[in-house]
Structure 1
Amino acid sequence: MKTLNPAVARVLKRLHYPLDVILTCVRWYVAYPLSLRHLEEMMAERGVSVDHSTVHRWAIKLLPVLEKAFRRCKRPVGKSWRMDETYLRVKGEWRYLYRGHCQVAGDGAVE
């Protein structure tokens, strides 16, 4: 298992809920059009008693730190994209195969 980024670990150190509960709430809040009160209800259905204001505080604390951590890990993406696609016969059935790749600016490597 990967270790946490030190900045993220520092923010999570004082929080009293399990890490998976915190990250699940923050992820759902960001990824889906859910209100904080909907998240409170969803977590209550799963047996976790958490207030909507607590989820809001987690989002305020964690989102800037997570954004910085993810930005550092983000791989470079080029401006030129290529898509290869074909049909193959596998065990008598036709299957669609595709692959996308980009030309990374500067080094000419194809991913």
Structure 2
Amino acid sequence: MEIIAHCFRFPPSFREVEELMLERGVIVSHETVRRWCATFGQSYANALRRRRVQLGDKWHLDEVFVKINGERKCLWRAVDADGTVLDILVQNRRDKAAARRFFRHMLKTTRSVPRVIVTDKLRSYGAAHREVMPSVEHRSHKGLNNRAKNSHQPIRQRERAMKGFRSVGGAQRFLSTVSGISPHFRPRRHLMTATHYRAEITPTRFAIRDHITGVAGLPAAA
């Protein structure tokens, strides 16, 4: 599981993980590492999500196009005011039905209702909002949604590193896992001093990782 964390902590390079294992005397192929990630990655991400702090009540929603097997798909994402990824959903379209499906998926995943949602000017948001969560305040403005737009950057990095995604299901599984693991090792660095950042990462977040992966219960290497 520690290897799985390494795969999702940075833009993934299964070859680097293969070399890391080789240094430890274990010979594996990058395909084996990929299967490990597919098998154990989501459970690791879910364990980290259960430990995250309470979600904010102001949610930012946005959509971006990604290329999957040569076809353009729409990636819907929601983050709170602190940049915590709330939900992610890959769909074929960018219309009212897709927005409605994303709203319902988001409410089911988070098991909570926001105080306000912030979106861009896409009309599909307004139509879906009136049907799914009419009691929630909806703010629609191009300039207010930079929080969600900036959060797309790590996904673009991984998309380039992987040279695109091969299938909708594979992209959904991978990005859902990444959104649960990567933020654990990427706190809001721009708001921290170097000393505070090291103090947050080293004893706290690594300890949580070790507890989830079971490394904490193993004897130290000689």
Q: Smaller-chain TM-score range?
A: 0.3 to 0.5
- What is the TM-score of this pair, normalised by structure 2? 0.24
**Which structure is higher in RCO with an 8 Å CA cutoff and minimum separation 6?**
2
- What is the TM-score of this pair, normalised by structure 1? 0.44
Asked which structure has the greater CA Rg, the reply is 1
